[in-house]
Amino acid sequence: MHSTTQLNYHYCHSILRFKHSTIRDLLGMSKLSCIVMQRSTRFFRFHSYNKLQNQNANFL
C-alpha cells in the first residue's frame, strides 16, 4: 500500500517537473524566436531602406 502511494507521488512529481521544464523551454524558445524575429525585421528594414536609397539615387 505504502509503496503504491510513494510510486504515485513520484509519478506525479516527475510529471509536474516535466511540465514545468517543458513550459520553461517553450517560454525560452518563444523569447528566442522573438529576439530572432526582431533582429531579422531590423535587418530586412535596413536592407529595404538601402535598396530604396539606391533606387532614389538611380532615379536622380
Whole-number pLDDT of residue 55: 76
> E strands within the chain?
none
CA proximity to 35, closest of 45, 43, 25: 43
The upper half-sphere exposure of residue 27, i.e. CA atoms within 13 Å in the direction of its Cβ, equals: 6
Spatial distance between the Cα atoms of 53 and 50, rounded to a whole number of angstroms: 5
Whole-number pLDDT of residue 5: 81
pLDDT in tens, 8-53: 888 777 878 888 788 888 888 888 888 888 888 888 888 788 887 8
Spatial distance between the Cα atoms of 34 and 46, rounded to a whole number of angstroms: 18
Whole-number pLDDT of residue 10: 80
Give me the residue spans of the domains in the chain. 1-60
Q: When comparing pLDDT for 44 and 2, which is higher?
A: 44
Whole-number pLDDT of residue 44: 80
pTM above 0.85, yes or no: no
